Amino acid sequence: MPINSPNIELFDQALLQVLETNNTRFGLTAQALGTFCRAYGFQPEEKETLDRLEYLAGKNLAAEVPKIIDKTFRAWKITAAGRQYLDDHNL
């Protein structure tokens, strides 16, 4: 499924669902999230995934995991607000 205007919300929800399933303090990289989102019918490029993760972080639904040593591979986790969003939308 292409990631375009009608499907962006579905892709965002898929990202949140994958993050909720992982729900660790270590988070997941954009590449791993993109791979797991294939189960939802998406085949995103890493840049598309990063753009949406940054959007979700701006909405406080996801957060970047702070790294001290190697910031090359950014990782993301779901926030309490992200879990609440999924609950509110029965996802």
Name the H helices within the chain.
5-22, 30-36, 46-58, 80-88
Residue partners of 83: CB distance under 8 A and separation at least 6:
20
Average pLDDT, the chain: 91
Structure tokens at 78: 């779901």
Q: What is the model's pTM?
A: 0.91
How many domains does the chain divide into? 1
Q: Which residue has the higher pLDDT, 67 or 60?
A: 60
What CATH number does residue 80 fall under?
Answer: 1.10.10.10
Which domain range does residue 23 map to?
5-88
Cα gap 28→43, rounded to integer Å: 17
Residue 84: which pLDDT band, with cuts at 50, 70 and 90? Answer: very high
Tell me if 27 sits within 8 A of 82, measured CB to CB: no
User: Nearest 5 degrees, angle CA 33-CA 86-CA 30?
Assistant: 15
Q: What is the number of alpha carbons within 13 Å of residue 35 lying toward its C-beta? A: 5
